[in-house]
Amino acid sequence: MTCAFDIRSMKRGVIAAAIGAAMSISGGVRAQFGEAAGIAEAMQSDYFKRDVTVIAQELKLDSTQRVIVDALFEDYTASIDQGIEKMKGRFEEMRDQFQTDDHRRVLRLVMQPFKEWAPEKTKIGEQFLENVKVVLTDEQIELWPAVERRLYRERKLKKGSLSGENLDLFIVIREMHLDEATSARIEPTMTAYSMALDEALKQREGAGNNALQNDMIDSISEQDSKKSMDVLKRHITLQVAVRDVNERYIGEIEAALPEELRASFRQAALSRAFPAVYRETPVARLFDKAKELEGLEAATLSSIAETETLYLNELAQMNRRLQQAVREHDPVEAAARAEDFNKRMSGEAVEPKANPTRELFGERDELGQRYAKQLQSLLTAEQFAQLPGSARWVSSGSEAQRAAVPEMSGAKVKPRDPASKPSSTGTAPEEHPD
């Protein structure tokens, strides 16, 4: 099988072609192979000015310390820039060697500077942090491990591509604006989460020896698709491990919080981890707006609240099923997407893949449609017409309600997005990924 890179592009300019060849996979597959090989990271710093700000704020650096740390950061940046320029210089030196039809040799040449630069770049970053520690007091040194974990977490966590993998529960907690007593109450759990996540991220990143990155670079150099897939599957397994830490600590932190805060924390965490599943649905918004209508009778308002409760209970059950389906399908899809790419590159046919989440999203659509109709039956035509987006849910056979809604009565309105076009039953599907 051929490897997933366009060798011909190497003839179009030495530096651009060398980097372009390594990054020439399209779409999500490029992210998969390129991320596993660490190619994109090789071309940028690990630490930025914002990281210096985090260090200063978390450790409460005094003015003298801040000046020294700023100077250390400038030295670090200069060293990284020099290293990247040196790597580019290697490509220039290889200009004549690129003039060959031996594609494997060209790929080996292209990948070697990346492979050599990665550990050197890591050492420069480690030295920067060690230099910072020299200027700290004993009290600040005690706080340093937590700061270092935060720097690593914020740098690496965002690379996650599976649902829940890039979740940062520190951000969820920060946005809850907890009081001091509650923050102190959950601090041991948050520390345990920080340490567990740090370990999982370092396993995923191959911290210390860059073993996984080197294996991927070697497989690319050798145009060995099977080896590339084996490395990628190992990487996906490590991605799942990061996601599992996040999921485990959603439960741990929830249990550590006061009871009145647990539901809101869980909802906020799951909304970040599985946004396609837990974001607010159009029908949930419809119920919210219905309860705000003026002039509703007490009995009607009570019926709306009861119907909303039934809907939300069923929705919660459906979302749990969807979450499980998504978490099971994500790693399978990631591997299948890469395998399909390799097949296309070698001229093999690719069969369409079944997506088990699609059927479940369809079931959730039907659930929303059913409860939208129930809400519609509790209101007058005029009342339902006041709800934003109500035209999406008006039954085609209800002439009175159709007349009450401008979009349905023939009045000129802004066209709807085709994706939200009403179905043949007169109701619209809820929003979900394709």
pLDDT tens, position by position, 209-230: 556 666 666 666 566 677 778 8
Residues 88-108: what's their mean pLDDT?
70
Q: Judge whether residue 419 has pLDDT over 50.
A: no
Q: Would you state the pLDDT for residue 255?
A: 98
The region of weakest confidence among 103-107, 410-414, 426-430 is 410-414
Q: Which amino acid is at 344?
A: R
Residue 391's pLDDT band (cuts 50, 70, 90): confident
Cα–Cα nearest to 135, from 61, 209, 222, 229 = 61
Given a contact cutoff of 8 angstroms between Cβ atoms, the answer to whether 379 and 356 are in contact is: no
Residues 179-184: what's their mean pLDDT?
97
Q: Judge whether residue 1 has pLDDT over 60.
A: no
Given a contact cutoff of 8 angstroms between Cβ atoms, the answer to whether 165 and 272 are in contact is: no
Q: Judge whether residue 417 has pLDDT over 80.
A: no
How big is the CA angle at 307 (ends 302 and 308), to the nearest 5 degrees?
Answer: 95
**Can you give the pTM of this predicted structure?**
0.77
Distance CA 376, CA 356 (A): 31
Q: Of 343 and 421, which is predicted with more confidence? A: 343
Distance CA 62, CA 51 (A): 16
Q: Judge whether residue 416 has pLDDT over 90.
A: no
Q: Would you state the pLDDT for residue 105?
A: 67
- CA 346 vs. chain centroid, Å, equals 30
Cα–Cα nearest to 283, from 392, 380, 122 = 392
Q: Judge whether residue 424 has pLDDT over 50.
A: no
Q: Report DSSP letters for 37-90, one per residue.
A: HTHHHHTS-S--HHHHHHHHHHHT--HHHHHHHHHHHHHHHHHHHHHHHHHHHH
Distance CA 151, CA 182 (A): 24
Cα–Cα nearest to 312, from 276, 286, 273 = 286
Distances, alpha carbon 23 to alpha carbons 117, 119, 219, 282, 408, in Å: 17, 20, 14, 39, 50
Q: Would you state the pLDDT for residue 246?
A: 98
Q: Would you state the pLDDT for residue 102?
A: 63
Q: Would you state the pLDDT for residue 93?
A: 75
Q: Judge whether residue 243 has pLDDT over 90.
A: yes
Residue 434's pLDDT band (cuts 50, 70, 90): very low
Residue 347's pLDDT band (cuts 50, 70, 90): confident
Distance CA 17, CA 33 (A): 18
